[in-house]
Amino acid sequence: MTNPAPPTSGVQLLEVAPEYAGQRIDNFLRTQLKGVPKTLIYRILRKGEVRVNKGRIKPEYKLQAGDVIRVPPLRLAERDEPVPLAQGLLERLESAIVYEDKALIVVNKPTGIAVHGGSGLNYGVIEAFRQLRPECKDLELVHRLDRDTSGLLMIAKKRSMLRHLHDALRGERIVDKRYHALVRGNWPAAKKQIAVPLLKNNLRSGERVVEVNPEGKEALTEFKVLRRFGDFATLVEARPITGRTHQIRVHAKHAGHSIAGDPKYGDEDFSREIRELGGKRLFLHSAYLRVPLPDGGVLELEAPVDEVWLRTVERLDA
């Protein structure tokens, strides 16, 4: 595909390569026209200024291989350019990479950093990596982690890898993701599975809250005890077989063993005691990942927890 010309040039003609077939044109233009505000992209689509094969199309038009897209001249004000992110954050994320090849990045995401901008945030992991890897035009999140959950996060550098991993994630047990969680109380060794349906609700504030509800989607998490701290707390491994929003957090709460530091589904008294030990974070960490690669190989990765987690567990042990 031809590279987009600079925004100050005249008409741009973009030819759609086979790997973009099936993608909506609005999403395609958002990734190809870097630095162009979304509002401007939707405006030129709405006004019919974008043509495909010389004809008008709607924003939801799905591309076909070989389509020729005509983009009108775009004049950008400086204020529309993406704000450079703090060097410290970029360096922190660069150093958190645990694996990278031509098609994939896997990062050990720190707690407290959102995976993408929105909801009052100007940036997230994906925006940072688009600045760290400007030559990679197709960087996309493969999956998500909650802002306060740390651990292994996959970012595709090529659309072919994104499609491959999305297909793998849709099949139960094809991708093996395992989390570590510090939970309240003494988790029984016999409690190996939580299988209750989860329903997602959006509050008026825009906040998402998930609850156990028979009308919700089927959800299954497997649990294994890793370490006990008397009757006060247990370190468990959680393996989500399905991939529902907040699944591990809600299933742990449903089992009567909420996760330390969880402001939405947790037990405040338990979380406060963990904070007094220095544990000021959500104690949920994506620790292990095993994924099939397109070439038939398998990628297997582990990610260590941070100093706050290590120090807190040491104090629990004391």
Active site residues: 146
* 173 φψ region: left (φ > 0), alpha (ψ -120 to 50), beta (else): left
Residue type, 156: A
The residues pairing with 235 across neighbouring beta strands, listed in sequence order, are 182, 227
Q: Around 103, how many Cα atoms within 13 Å sit in the side-chain half-sphere?
A: 12
Neighbours of 2 (CB within 10 A): 11
Tokens of 292: 């099939």
Give the three-state DSSP class for 6.
coil
Under a CB-based contact definition with an 8 Å cutoff, are residues 178 and 248 in contact? no
**Measured CA distances, 143 to 71, 169, 221 (Å):** 31, 9, 17
Q: What is the DSSP string of 84-124?
A: PPPHHHHHHHHHTEEEE-SSEEEEEEPTT--SS-BTTBS--
Q: Which helix (H) or strand (E) holds 289?
A: strand 284-292
Tokens of 148: 């306060």
Residues 33 and 160: their CA atoms lie apart, in Å, by 20
Residues 273 and 178: their CA atoms lie apart, in Å, by 26
Under a CB-based contact definition with an 8 Å cutoff, are residues 83 and 122 in contact? yes
Give the three-state DSSP class for 164.
helix
The residues pairing with 183 across neighbouring beta strands, listed in sequence order, are 234, 259
